[in-house]
Structure 1
Amino acid sequence: MASRSSSLLACAAGRCPRCHQGPVFKTSALNLAHFQDMHDYCPVCGQHYEPEPGFFWGAMYVSYAFSVAIVVAVGLAVYVLGHDPDTWVYIVSAALAIVLFMPLTFRYSRLVMLYLFGGIDYNPAAPVRQARR
């Protein structure tokens, strides 16, 4: 397994930005009923995941960027593979892709927001604490 000392790998794995070990989310992205449930604190180092109230409202902008990228990629794929089909094919394909990727878009928009704007630096010597309940 790859080293978790890389912030990019830790972000992709959904790990804490401080210790790169504790999970940010409680369940798998495939658990559609609870894919959005986050831990309040890192179970390993105790880092609080919400630096300030309403912090994750900014993740909407990141989510929008991800959605635009998905729509452009799906549009290009439909154009190339479908030899420029009718407009309804583009709309249905883009809508399906957005709905299918929504759990990942939600999670990674929050992770990118936390890693880039959370003000939390990687600390390999972060103390190991008991999980707060």
Structure 2
Amino acid sequence: MATKTDSAALALLDLRCPRCRRGKLFVTSALSTRFAEMHAHCPICDLALEPEPGFYWGAMFVSYGFSVASFFVGGAAAYYLFNDPPTWVYVLIVTLLVLITTPLVLRYSRAIMLHLFGGIHYNPDAAKTTPAPPRA
């Protein structure tokens, strides 16, 4: 069975650091009110998780793609499950779907941005080194 460190895709799906594939990217769970709070540095390999100032502005384009997918899924579900309901039902379903999935969309948009466009390469030895002391 593959582990998180075997595959970049599994590390991405589990929201792990792209360099060591072990450290968590986010401080709390997606169900917390602080769902967007990321570690400044990977807790395992001390990689800076914001490669440059404003890096995650690009994640809004990934988030837009997720939102468009939500519109299509919500619209198709409303059409087929409720037999082409009135317009307000479409609006309500799509709005609820977008609001409910916001924490996951934000997290995965940032993780995809970091993994694909961060210029960070996997280093299996990065996790074996002693991490730096926690930063204030």
TM-score normalised over the length of structure 1:
0.95
Q: Look up the match of 1:36.
A: 36
CA distance in 1 between partners of 2:90 and 2:52 (Å): 40
1:95-110 equivalences in 2 (<5 Å):
95-110=95-110
Q: Which runs of 4+ in 1 moved over 4 A?
A: none
Instruction: List gaps (5 residues or longer) in structure 2.
Output: none
Look up the match of 2:62. Answer: 62
Tell me how far apart the structure 1 counterparts of residues 43 and 132 of structure 2 sit (CA, whole Å). Answer: 7
Q: For 1:50 and 1:25, how far apart are their aligned partners in 2?
A: 12
- Percent identity of equivalent pairs: 52
Residue by residue over 1:73-121, the C-alpha shift from the partner in whole angstroms, topping out at 9 and shown as x without a partner, is: 1111111111111111000000000000000000000000000000001
Q: Distance in 2 between matches of 1:87 and 1:101?
A: 21
How far apart, CA to CA, are the structure 1 residues paired with 2:125 and 2:40?
Answer: 21
Question: For 2:22 and 2:62, how far apart are their aligned partners in 1?
Answer: 24
Secondary structure of residue in 1 paired with 2:111:
helix
Does residue 129 (structure 1) correspond to residue 116 (structure 2)? The answer is no
Q: Deviations over 1:5-49 (max 9, x none)?
A: 211111111100000100000000010x20000000000000111
Amino acid at match of 1:7: A
User: What does 1:105-116 align with in structure 2 at a 5 Å threshold?
Assistant: 105-116=105-116
What amino acid does structure 2 have at the position aligned with 1:101? Answer: T
In 2: Cα distance, 1:16 partner to 1:57 partner: 19
Report the counterpart of residue 93 of structure 1 in structure 2: 93
Q: 2:21 maps to which residue?
A: 20
> How far apart are the structure 2 equivalents of 1:11 and 1:65?
17
Q: CA deviation at 1:128?
A: 3.7
TM-score by length of 2: 0.93
Could you tell me which residue of structure 2 aligns to residue 75 of structure 1?
A: 75
For structure 1, the residue ranges without an aligned partner over 5 or more in a row are none
Residues 55, 83 of structure 1: CA spacing in aligned structure 2 closer, same or farther, 3 A cutoff? Answer: same
Offset at 1:131? 4.7
